[in-house]
Amino acid sequence: MLKYKRISLKLSGEAMGGAQAVDFDKAEAIARQVARLHELGAEIGITIGGGNIWRGRSSGDMDRNRADQMGMLATVINSLAVQDCLLKLGVPAVVMSSIDMPRIADSYSSRAAHAALDAGKVVIFAGGSGLPFFSTDTAAALKAAEIGADAMLVVTPYYNKATQNGLIKTFTAIADASTKPVILYNVPSRTGVNIKPETAAELAKLPRVNGIKEASGDLDQVAKIHELCGDELNIWSGNDDQIFDILERGGKGVISVLSNIAPKETHEIVASYLNGDRKTSKELMDKYVKLAKAMFVDVNPIPVKEAVSLIGFNAGPLRLPLIEMDESNKKYVKETMEEYGLVK
């Protein structure tokens, strides 16, 4: 039984890039993974970028409106490729475009998308938002809201720093405005604001607050949250090097960076623990902790994008303010992945 049934999936166009603009081996690999989710009963909406073909913001002196329109058309090409792969696997799939092109794709509307998802079809959203100057990341967030995705992950405010009471009021307002479960995200190293255990306990009383992604790094705090909240608040590790330690303190799993390059191994750390095999879970955690830490040798997600590229997926360029790692960090990431047999 899936905990979250209606899923909004955002795919980078670079995930489909290769020697040709569209690498059908990669498109087929994506389709196979989507097909497995579909078999489990998931209702899936996919928003695909077009960066493997064209990027409007990298178009030099070209008029940005026209450049972004070309980028929207690139997302249509990628969407049709994934649709074709899904149909060949026997998975019903429809492409809906934010740009009217009735001979190529269905026109997007929230009502039509809901009807297709309810009918068991995978819906592939093409054309981004249909507007220039907005990335497909923005389009994916909008589509997730419009199709009624089953949950959202909400980080603490990070510019105007909130008091603990301010956090309670902010998350309460978000939860009250939502029809879906809310997962709190506590990452004070990035936001400068820590959700204290007492604050988490107060927020756990809200019916739509489902859990917390805990990335404070403070294991005593995690234990205190579990002590105060019990099973009223699910705790997921937000730090890959602390998966086992957080499970020991009442955690239910991990929202992971490591899983991008070692999905099976990350799953087994959690699954073995939840199945009562603490010994195997601890051994796996000890084995993969070096790899997990290598993904944070520079500002996340810089190292993991490098790592994903090394295993054969074109993760695309970084966006400012993120920049390429220096050569010593690149060398360390590659050597660590070689040590784990992920690259040759």
The CATH number of residue 276's host domain is: 3.20.20.70
Catalytic residue of the set 26, 213, 273, 288: 213
**Residues 274 and 167 grouped into a single domain:** yes
Average pLDDT over residues 125-148: 86
- Percentage of the chain surpassing pLDDT 70? 97
Q: Is the dihedral of CA 190, 161, 234, 38 positive or negative?
A: negative
With H, G, I as helix, E, B as strand and everything else as coil, classify residue 315.
Answer: coil
> Across the chain, what does the average pLDDT equal?
91
Section 27-49 average pLDDT: 91
Same domain, 304 and 157: yes
Q: How many CB atoms lie within 10 A of CB 276?
A: 9
Q: Is 213 a catalytic residue?
A: yes
Give the number of domains in the chain: 2
Please say which residue of 147, 170, 189 terminates a domain. Answer: 147
- Bridge partners, residue 253, by sequence: 236
Q: Report CA dihedral (298, 265, 284, 2) to the nearest 10 degrees.
A: 110
Strands 234-237 and 209-214: parallel
**Does residue 181 share a domain with residue 136?**
no
Q: How far apart are CA 27 and CA 36, in angstroms?
A: 14
For residue 126, CA distances in Å to 74, 165, 172, 247 come to 9, 41, 34, 39
pLDDT digits (tens, 9 = 90+) for 297-337: 999 999 999 999 999 887 778 877 899 999 999 999 999 99
Residue 149's pLDDT is: 85
Percent of the chain beyond pLDDT 90? 67
Half-sphere exposure of 323 (CA within 13 A, CB side): 3
CATH of the domain at 95: 3.40.1160.10
Say whether both 301 and 314 belong to one domain. Answer: yes
Q: Let me know whether 138 and 180 are in one domain.
A: no
Q: By the 8 A CB rule, do 127 and 74 touch?
A: no
Question: Per the domain annotation, does 1 fall within a domain?
Answer: no
> Are residues 281 and 223 both part of a single domain?
yes
Whether the pLDDT of residue 15 is over 90: the answer is no
Q: 200 and 75 in one domain? A: no
263 part of a folded domain:
yes
Whether residue 305 is contained in a domain is answered as: yes
Q: Are residues 180 and 325 in the same domain?
A: yes
d(CA 230, CA 304): 33
Q: Give dist(CA 297, CA 300) in Å, integer.
A: 8
145: left (phi over 0), alpha (psi -120 to 50) or beta: alpha
Least confident of 42-56, 148-162, 246-260, 323-337: 148-162
141 lies in the same domain as 162:
no
Question: Would residue 85 count as lying in a domain?
Answer: yes
Q: Which pLDDT value is given to residue 228?
A: 97
Q: Which tokens in the block code for residue 221?
A: 């705090």
The number of beta carbons lying within 10 Å of the beta carbon of residue 148 is 16
- Beta carbons within 8 Å of 299's beta carbon, 6+ residues apart: 322
90 dihedral zone (left: phi>0; alpha: psi -120 to 50; beta): left
Domain interval for residue 212 = 152-339
Query: Which of 84, 119, 147 corresponds to the end of one domain?
Result: 147
Is 169 found in the same domain as 120?
no
The pLDDT value recorded for residue 26 is 87
Catalytic annotation, pick one of 26, 121, 185, 288: 185
What's the pLDDT tens digit per position in 231-263? 999 999 999 999 999 999 999 999 999 999 999
- pLDDT tens-place string over residues 181-223: 889 999 999 889 999 999 999 999 999 899 999 999 999 999 9
- Residues in the chain, total: 344
143 & 163 share domain: no
pLDDT at residue 333 in the model:
97
Extended strands (E) in 34-176: 43-48, 93-97, 106-107, 122-126, 152-155
Contact 49, 136 (CB under 8 A): yes
Q: What is the pLDDT of residue 326?
A: 94
pLDDT in tens, 163-178: 999 999 988 988 887 7
Q: Which of these three, 130, 147, 164, is where a domain ends?
A: 147
